[in-house]
Structure 1
Amino acid sequence: MQGIFQKENTDKSLKYGIYRHLPTYEKIIRNLVSFFIKKVIFLDVIFSYFCYNIKKQHPGGIRMSKKNLIAGQSGGPTAAINSSLYGVVSEALKHTEEIDHVYGMVNGIEGFLNGTVLDFQEALPGEQLLALTWTPGAYLGSCRYKLPESLEDPVYPKLFQKFEEMNIGWFFYIGGNDSMDTVSKLSRYAEKIGSDIRILGEPKTIDNDLVNTDHTPGFGSAARYVASTVREITLDACVYEKKSVTIIEIMGRHAGWLTGAAALARKYVGDNPLLIYLPETDFDVEEFLQKVHAAFEKNCNVVVCVSEGIHDKDGTFICEYDSAAGTDAFGHKMLAGCGKYLENLVRSRLGVKARSVELNVSQRCSAAMLSGTDQQEGILAGEFGVQAALNGETGKMIAFKRQSDSPYSMKCTLEDVNVICNEEKTVPVEWITEDGSDVTEDFIRYARPLIQGTVNVPVGEDGLPAFVYRK
């Protein structure tokens, strides 16, 4: 076979064989190299563009397999806490490409440790889930479980082992100050061990005492209940012309937001309640009696609203004047009784008819007074939280930032839960009158938008609200 690679080729044949074909080989090689370089550059551009979009859509990183989301409720329930739960669950169920199952912790973190968990796809299928938005209480149940301060405590690896067993990728806890403390500890432990679980807090409290947020879901409905009930009690108290004093005791240990909401009950200047006392200022018994006596010049029936946590200049709670107050699991004093003490004081010192009314748990569980604004903001907070978690956020609490009072508008933001937990937001002193016996117009402008909107609660065949119950 004749060719340029035959052994018998002479130098002359090589010279006129191989050399003659070199330009052709060089051209082929150059074309091949050029082709592969162009392909590599093209693929690099495509890959870079793909990575850019993935990073933009998933700043917290992309998960290669589905994971599960779990939510829990903690602390005292409200009329809107289930609206936040609905927001979390309904939004999570939309993201089927990333979230497989949506679980609920029955009785909070304590129940989770005991293995009590439900699957929302089974517990509240289809339209049943919507009933959460008008059901008061805490559908999942609650707890008062305080996680240890030390992250070295064995409870933390136990919790995260359970998270791993259930393939949890997202954790939501709905609650107040103590619940945000739980979120803070879990998120810090997750960071410590390198866990990629996204841990977020959903705000809830009728006390409205969470910092770094304009207000919290739960407050608007409770404030609406307080204002409505105070107005009803006032109408009842004013049927006789005989002098009387009605003292209404309202929840609020250190923050008087709910008691201040009683001012919304007034229809005109000089209307009851004539006196409102918050725990942000010192309470003087003698000055109180003088003001009640002077109030009879305006109305023979005087309605007074007081926070359960009113105290004297030495910090002693007025309820302690009458009896010793116990403490709860978090070391907080369980306050009750200042209304009854003041009732007896007025009767004995002023010699007039007196009664006290303690609103108690009805402030937080009235679906009849559920604020439409409160309900919708609770749902919005839940939805926003899930979207934030899917974008990689963790160690945050969903917060509200007010845009304007009239017309009222707000937007959701994210705040570092570590600077929120165990802090307390009180009513600004400038929103309280100088003598400490009322709130100002600034407070009323702040609170009024939050009680707006009526929720039409469906009624069952028994004529009562059609709430949803956990089976």
Structure 2
Amino acid sequence: MKHNLLVIHGGGPTVVLNSSLYGVIRESQEHLDVIDHVWGARNGVQGVLKDDFIDLAIKSSRDIDALLTSPGTAIGSSRYPLDEDAYNAIVDHLEKNNIKYVLMSGGNGTMATCGELSRICTERNTKIYVMGMPKTIDNDIAVIDHCPGYLSAAKYIIQTTREVTADVHSLPIHVCIIEAMGRNAGWITAASALASNDDDLKPDLIYVPERVFDEKQFLADVKEIYDKKGYAVVVASEGLRSANNKPIVPEIFRQGRSVYYGEVGNYLANLVIKKWHIKARNEKPGLIGRSSIYLQSSIDREEAVQVGRRAVKAALDGESNKMVGIFKSQNENGTYQAEYRLIDIKNVMMTEKKLPDNFISEKGNYVTKDFAEWLEPMLTKSDYFPIVNFN
């Protein structure tokens, strides 16, 4: 008897989330002897509770291929909160619709949902297999080396920093603050350090949330750079915190697990203006940085596809309560390649992976050589246009 396979997306999208979906569809098409329908839950778990499914297998080959170059999520996502009754209701809907294989793609919160759903399925003695597919630009999922979505976000902040630095160097009259995404982990912010491509287009200062932010030291750091160069480029995480572990900007409001704050970049620029009477401005890529398909990393895309394919294979093999993880390895030429392993979902549920101490400079205003050596093998330097300056 054939059974149905369901894909559920949770949380914010990336430019390779649809690539994992592509991998799921293409792999499922190779197992039509056991898979009947390949469905996507419309707008996340809410779609499951409404029996609102998108039939993915009937989409044209052209549309399926276009998933590889489509930002966002083609089936929709959500941050819908669930309680015990809701989990049981989801299982009811899965059984009613003959869904045996459930693949959930998301970050820490979604992996927690994945684990809880798997637990309910086990307790109810169902034959439903639940697999997790990691997805987040923040790169903060525990255990694994890196997460689909991160390399593209890193590529974006690197290219953006190169371009902004070239611009500021051309008219060296101000301090420019680039605010990077990553509320609790500084992986994206740190990536900006690799902006230099045998030139001097890297940021002058980098601040990540793993270090206590000292305003006085920040102002001194900026002044020292400005006095030397006539300008300064700073990349700062949106999640900077002071010594009392509170965000340096006040909370505006919260909704569920999401908390909304003022803009860190704006706050830092105003500090510079008020203290040193220097022109300062804030640039905040925000959603632009996680939706830029033109700066999608080819390595990131392929790894996302493989995560989707391997999740399908694992579920068909009877694996459940696991997540497909990516780890660094080397091929026979000694260059980077990904290794994929299944990880118990309990080891990643609601557990954030932050930058380790050896990746952050002693003064807390930059990253170390160790970080650069970790990230650089996964970047393709030829992707960046050469930038020249004769001045």
After TM superposition, the score normalised by the length of structure 1 is 0.78
Q: Which runs of 5+ in 2 are unaligned?
A: 384-391
The residue correspondences of 1:50-449 to structure 2 (distance < 5 A) are: 65-122=1-58, 124-148=59-83, 153-242=84-173, 244-267=174-197, 271-320=201-250, 324-330=251-257, 332-404=258-330, 407-449=335-377
* Contact 1:81–1:137, Cα closer than 8 Å, also in 2: yes
1:275-327 deviation digits (Å, cap 9, x = unpaired): 0000000010000011111112442120000000011111121112xxx3322
Q: Displacement, 1:241?
A: 3.8
How far apart, in 1, do the equivalents of 2:284 and 2:172 lie?
Answer: 24
Deviation at 1:453, TM superposition (A): 8.2
What letter is aligned with 2:155? R
CA contact (8 A) 2:192 2:202 kept: no
Regions of 4+ moved over 4 Å: 268-271
Q: Deviations over 1:58-84 (max 9, x none)?
A: xxxxxxx11110101110000000001
* Structure number with higher strand proportion: 2
In structure 2, C-alpha distance between the alignment counterparts of 1:275 and 1:172, rounded to whole Å? 40
Between the aligned partners of 1:228 and 1:440, the Cα distance in structure 2 is: 19
Residues of 1 paired with 2:142 and 2:373: CA distance?
Answer: 19
Equivalenced residues, count:
381
Q: Name the CA distance, whole Å, in 2 between partners of 1:377 and 1:314.
A: 39
Amino acid at match of 2:67: L
Q: CA deviation at 1:401?
A: 1.6
Query: Aligned equivalents of 2:210 and 2:134: distance in 1?
Result: 22
Q: Hey, what's the Cα distance between the residues in 2 that align with 1:408 and 1:127?
A: 31
Distance 1:350 1:268, change over 3 A: farther
Give yes or no for contact 2:17–2:72 (8 Å, CA) kept in 1.
yes
Q: Counterpart of 2:358 in 1: which secondary structure? A: helix
Aligned counterparts of 1:180 and 1:419: Cα–Cα separation in 2: 10
Does the 8 Å contact 2:8/2:45 carry over to 1? Answer: yes
1:371/1:453 contact within 8 Å kept? no
Could you tell me which amino acid in structure 2 is paired with residue 92 of structure 1?
A: S
Alpha-carbon distance in 2 for matches of 1:270, 1:336: 31
Following superposition, the deviation at residue 418 of structure 1 comes to 1.4
Counterpart of 1:53? none
Give distance in 1, aligned partners of 2:41 and 2:228. 53
Mapped partners of 1:73, 1:230: distance in 2: 30
- Conservation of the 8 A alpha-carbon contact between 1:272 and 1:302: no
Residue 368 to residue 119, structure 1, CA distance change in 2 (3 Å): same
| Distance in structure 1 (CA, Å) of the matches to 2:151 and 2:205 | 22
State the one-letter code of the partner of 1:422. M
What residue in structure 2 maps to residue 469 of structure 1? Answer: none
Q: Which runs of 5+ in 1 are unaligned?
A: 1-64, 456-471
Asked whether the equivalents of residues 374 and 451 of structure 1 are also in contact (C-alpha less than 8 Å), the reply is no
Contact 2:9 2:77 in 1 (8 A): yes
TM-superposed deviation, 1:271: 4.7
Q: TM-score, normalised by structure 2?
A: 0.94
Task: Answer yes or no: is the 8 Å Cα contact 1:370–1:454 preserved in 2.
Answer: no
Measure the CA separation in 2 of the matches of 1:373 and 1:384. Answer: 16
Give 1:452 deviation, angstroms: 2.7
